[in-house]
Every structure is written in C-alpha cells, then in structure tokens.
Structure 1
Amino acid sequence: MKNEVLREVGMLARCIQSISDIKFREIKLQRGQFIFLTRICECPGVNLVELSNILKVDKATTTKAVQKLMDENYVRRERGNDDKRMWHLFPSAKAKEAYSYIIQEENQNIESCFNGFNLEEKEAVFQLLKKMRENIEQDWKELKNFKEERE
C-alpha cells in the first residue's frame, strides 16, 4: 500500500500537468511555467527565493522559468527599495489575463478529479493531502538546508 499511495498521487499530478501543458501552449506557456505564473499573480512582489520556497523547487529552476516568462512579457521585475540586489516579480497585464484562464482550467481539472465525490469526501481529501504535504515538507526543509550548508 505504501508505494501505491505515492504512485497514485504521482499519476494524478502527471495527468494534470500533461493536460495543463497542452492547454497552455496556446498562450505560449511552456512545460510547468503556469505554476510560476499563478504564484507571481497571487503574490505580486515576490522574490526568487520566496517563489522557490512556495513551489518547493530549487532556485535554478525558478530562475529559468521566470526568465522565460519575462521573455514572453508575462512577468516584469523591479529592484527592491531596501536591498538593491533583490529583484521583485510582478505580473504584467498579459499575465493577469492568462491567470484568469489558468484558474478556470484548474477549476475544471478539480471538478473532473472530484466527479462523484460528496462535500464531506472532498473536504476529507483536501485535509488528508494537506497533512501529507505538511509531513513531507519538514523532510524537504531539512534536506534543503543540509544541501545549502554543503554548498
């Protein structure tokens, strides 16, 4: 059973990722960029480190994705007022328009995933997945800190 749970979660994530990648090609978003774009729209002014932590990815991955979003005029960056070395990310008008479409598609995926579930089952799934994420997040933080200390 242990392996089966993670395999199911992985298959669910890959299905949603594939659907999203295909649908978002028409708005010139490449593989997985939509998750970066949505978080920048939801957290205007976020910096690269914060964005990496929110999404649980390394800074190099975030940097590449953000650069591509900037190349497509979805994101603009501004230097921080307090720390001139820090860049803050903001959504463009194009990003805000795309964000509405992305959220609409995400909601459609959620509806599809929850087909045949009652309200209590939906809430239970959410709470259980949240608890699983919180549990593994601690391991992720420890490993991330260990890696950063070695670098």
Structure 2
Amino acid sequence: MKEILREIGMIARALDSISNIEFKEFDLAKGQYLYLVRVVENPGIIQEKLAEMIKVDRTTAARAIKKLEINGFIEKRNDKQNQKIKKLFPTEKGKEVYHSIIKENDHSNMVALAGFSESEIETIYHLLQRVRKNVEIDWEYVKKGNTRDY
C-alpha cells in the first residue's frame, strides 16, 4: 500500500512550519493561527466545539485559546442565557491578522496545487474529504477511551 498518510503528514508539517515562521511577526505562537481563523470565521463559538473542529483535545485547545486571549487576538464573553458558557470572539487585532493568515493560506494553496487542472483539484478535494471522514470515525472512537484493533 502507498504511504499516503506519510505524504499528507509531510505536507502538513511543511506548511505548518512555514506558517509558524511567517506568523511570528504577529506574535502568534505555534499553531495558534488555526484557532484564530476558526474563531474569526465562527464568532461566538465555544471552546469545546473549536477543539472538535481542529481535532485536538480540550486541554490543548484551552492552552492555545488562553494565549490568544492574553495576546489580544480573541476575547471570551459570557453567554446571555447561561453564564457558565464562555463564547469566543475575535478582537480587532485578531480580525486584522486573520486577513494575513488567509493571504498566506491562499498562496500556499496556489503553490501546492500548481500544475493541477480544475478537475484534478476537485478530485483531490473530494478524496481528501473522504479520507478525513474515515479518520474522524477512529478519532471519535479513541477519544472516548476505546482502543482500535490492528
């Protein structure tokens, strides 16, 4: 079998490394840009949903969110109906940085997909969505404390 997941991993690590280097100028620490993008695109999201979206555990998400809050990129607000629920919103600083992150993302997409036809790009997209959905099933299973059979 081809080592598809290794290829995906190498691509992801390379792009993540580039982003971490380029976003240092905004005081965004490792991987925090992922959280900021989701908050800007989903204002009012709760921390648990954000962790689920990014596919990380709640503790990892909590640390990143705290740093983003301390550095003025996002803010927590109480839910109007339930004061225990904290919703996440981007600050003006967060919204400004978001535009740079999206420009970098668009550029990375162009570089990664150079030489591919529109049809090939559609195919890659749909195939990767299927791969993600397959992996999400195991992710949910293991997250609940289960062990996979190999």
- Structure 1 stretch displaced more, 137-146 or 4-13: 137-146
Query: What SS does the aligned partner of 1:115 have?
Result: coil
The answer to whether residue 91 in structure 2 is matched with residue 92 in structure 1 is: yes
Q: Shift of residue 146 of structure 1?
A: 2.9
Q: Shift of residue 139 of structure 1?
A: 1.0
Matched residue, 1:57: 56
Query: What SS does the aligned partner of 2:83 have?
Result: coil
Structure 2 length-normalised TM: 0.94
Structure 2 residue runs of 5 or longer lacking an equivalent are none
AA partner of residue 85 (structure 1): K
Q: Shift of residue 85 of structure 1?
A: 1.2
CA distance in 1, matches of 2:60, 2:45: 16
Query: What SS does the aligned partner of 2:103 have?
Result: helix
Q: Shift of residue 145 of structure 1?
A: 2.2
Q: Runs of at least 4 residues of structure 1 off by over 6 A?
A: none
Matched residue, 1:46: 45
Structure 1 length-normalised TM: 0.94
The answer to whether residue 52 in structure 2 is matched with residue 21 in structure 1 is: no
CA distance in 2, matches of 1:61, 1:68: 11
Structure 1, residues 72-126: CA drift from partner, whole Å, max 9, x if none?
A: 1000001112221111000000011101110000000000000110101100100
Matched residue, 1:105: 104
Percent identical among aligned pairs is 37
Q: Shift of residue 127 of structure 1?
A: 0.4
Matched residue, 1:31: 30
How many residue pairs match? The answer is 146
Matched residue, 2:80: 81
Structure 1 residue runs of 5 or longer lacking an equivalent are none
